[in-house]
Structure 1
Amino acid sequence: MDEAKPAWRRRTKAEHRWPVVLALIVLGTLQWYLPDRLTPGPRWLFPLIEAVIGVVLIAANPVRMRRDTPRLRMLSLGLITVASLGTVWTVVMLIRDIVSGHDTGSAGQLLATGGGIYVMNVLTFAVWFWELDRGGSVARSLGSDPYPDFLFAPMTSPDMAHQDWEPWFADYLYLSFTNSTAFSPTDTLPMTRGAKFGMAAESAIALVTAALVVAKAVNALG
C-alpha cells in the first residue's frame, strides 16, 4: 500500500548533501568579496563561522542526508541563520549607502554589488525553504509529515509526474529564484504561514534592492 503513495508522502532514499554545500560555498564566497563597508566586522568572519558549522554537518552526513538529531537540526538552522544575518546586514548597509548618498562606486561596481546581493538573497532563502519544508530533508525522506509547507506542481498533478518524484534542493532553488524575480509565487504555493512569511520577506528584499540599485546606477550613468 505504501508504494502506491507518491514519493513525497512515503519513506524514500535520502537526498544528496552536495547541492546544498555548493550553494553555501557560493554564498560564503560572495560574502567574502563584498566591499568592507557592507560586511559586519571582518569580511572573513561570517564565511569562517559558516565553514566551521558546515564541516560538522558534512561529517555527520557526508554523502546523503540520513542522520538527524536535535543537535544536528540546531546546527543546520544555526548555519542558515548566520548566513541570513550576513545577507540582511549587507542589504541594510547597501540601502543606507544609497539613501544617504554615500559613495557606492561607479555604476558598474554598484550593479556588480547589487547582483551579488541578489544571488545571496536567492541562495539564502533557497536553503531556508529546503530546511523548513516538512521538517527538513531527513524528515521528508522518512515521510513523517504529510502536510507540505510548499505545494509544488507535481503534487497537484500527480498524473503528470513520475511516482518517484519528490522535492529536492534544486526545486527549492528554483522556487527561491522565481519568487525573487517575480516578487510572487509562480508554480509553487506557500501552504503555511511560515512559508508565506519567508516568500514575502524574500520578495521584499529583492524588490527594494533591485529598485534602489537600478535607480542609483541610472543616476550615476546620467
Structure 2
Amino acid sequence: MSDDDRGPGENLPRAEQRWTASAFVLVAMAIPFLLPARYAAGTAWLLPAIEGVVLLTLIAVDPGRIDRPGRWVRALSVGLVVAIAAGAAWGAGRLVWDLLHGDPQTEAANQLLVAGALVWLQTVIAFAFLYWELDGGGPVNRHLNPAEHPDLAFPQQLEPRLAAPGWRPVFFDYLYLALTNATAFSPTDVMPLARRAKLAMASQALLSIVILSLVVANAVNLLD
C-alpha cells in the first residue's frame, strides 16, 4: 500500500496509554486522606469522589489509549484536572496560612515536614496534569492534530535525532517537567514557548518556593 492510499490516521504513532495518568489520579485522590482534615476542600472524600467518578467515566468511554476526540470527552478531562488543581490549591493555601499565622498542628517538626511534603507533592501532580492538558490542546489533540508550534518544547522536539521518529511527550514527561520546575524553580530541559505555559511554570515555581521555604524555616525553628 502506498502512502497515498492510507487513511488519514494510519501514519500516526500509537496514542498514549491511559494507565500512567490514571495511576497518578489515584495518588492525588489518596493524598487528602493522609493529610489533616483542614487541608481538604470541604471533606476529605469530596474531591477524591469527584475525581474517581470522572476517571471511571473517561476509562469507560476511552479505554486503553487516549485517542477519542469529542468536546464532552475533552470537558471531562479538563474537569478532572480542575478538581485535582482545586484540591492542591486548597491544601497549599491552608498550609501557608497555618505557617504564617501559627497552628498547634504545625508546631511539631515531624508533623509539619510530613504535611509539607504531601502538600508539595500534591501541587507537583496538579501541575503535571495542567501541563499535560495545556500543551497542544491535550493528549488527544497532540495525537490526532499535532500543533505546528507547541506550548512546551521538549529536547526530543528541538533535536529530533535524540528520539525515535514520531516521538511525542506523554504524561510521565509532564510529571518530570513539574518535578524539575518545582525543585529548580526554573526551566531545565523543557522550554515554555507559549505565554500561558510561561505563566503556569512561573506560578508553580513561586508556589514551590513559598511552600518549601516556609516549611523548612519553620521546621528548623522547631528543631532548635
Same fold per superposition (TM over 0.5): yes
Structure 1 residues 51 and 105, CA gap change in structure 2 (3 angstroms): farther
Question: Is 2:180 the partner of 1:182?
Answer: no
Percent of aligned positions that are identical: 40
2: CA distance, partners of 1:68 / 1:33: 35
Give the structure 1 partner of residue 99 of structure 2. 98
Q: Which moved more, 1:128-137 or 1:158-167?
A: 158-167
Give the structure 2 partner of residue 5 of structure 1. none
Give the structure 2 partner of residue 52 of structure 1. 53
Equivalent residue letter for 1:111:
L
How far the C-alpha of 1:150 sits from its partner, in A, is 0.4
2: CA distance, partners of 1:160 / 1:62: 30
How far the C-alpha of 1:61 sits from its partner, in A, is 1.3
Deviation string for 1:44-79 (max 9, x for gaps)? 111111111111111111110121210111111111
1: CA distance, partners of 2:142 / 2:38: 40
Give the structure 1 partner of residue 147 of structure 2. 145
Question: Is 2:26 the partner of 1:25?
Answer: yes
Once superposed, which parts of structure 1, at least 4 consecutive aligned residues long, lie more than 6 Å away? none
How far the C-alpha of 1:108 sits from its partner, in A, is 0.8
What TM-score comes out, normalization by structure 2 length? 0.92
Give the structure 1 partner of residue 166 of structure 2. 164
Question: Is 2:134 the partner of 1:132?
Answer: yes
SS in 2 for 1:186: coil
Give the structure 1 partner of residue 209 of structure 2. 207
Equivalent residue letter for 2:83:
V
2: CA distance, partners of 1:84 / 1:200: 16
Equivalent residue letter for 2:51:
E
Equivalent residue letter for 1:56:
T
SS in 1 for 2:169: coil
Equivalent residue letter for 1:95:
V
Give the structure 2 partner of residue 121 of structure 1. 123
Equivalent residue letter for 2:202:
A
Equivalent residue letter for 2:82:
T
Q: Which moved more, 1:154-163 or 1:177-186?
A: 154-163
RMSD: 1.5
Task: Give the gaps of 5 or more residues in structure 1.
Answer: 3-9
Between the two proteins, the alignment pairs up a number of residues equal to 215
- Determine if contact 1:23/1:123 at 8 Å carries over to the other structure: yes
- Determine if contact 1:33/1:43 at 8 Å carries over to the other structure: no
2: CA distance, partners of 1:34 / 1:105: 15
Task: Give the gaps of 5 or more residues in structure 2.
Answer: 4-10
Equivalent residue letter for 2:79:
G
Question: Is 2:85 the partner of 1:84?
Answer: yes
Q: Which has the higher contact order (CA 8 A, sep 6+)?
A: 1
Equivalent residue letter for 1:81:
V
- Determine if contact 2:92/2:123 at 8 Å carries over to the other structure: no
SS in 2 for 1:94: helix
2: CA distance, partners of 1:92 / 1:72: 30
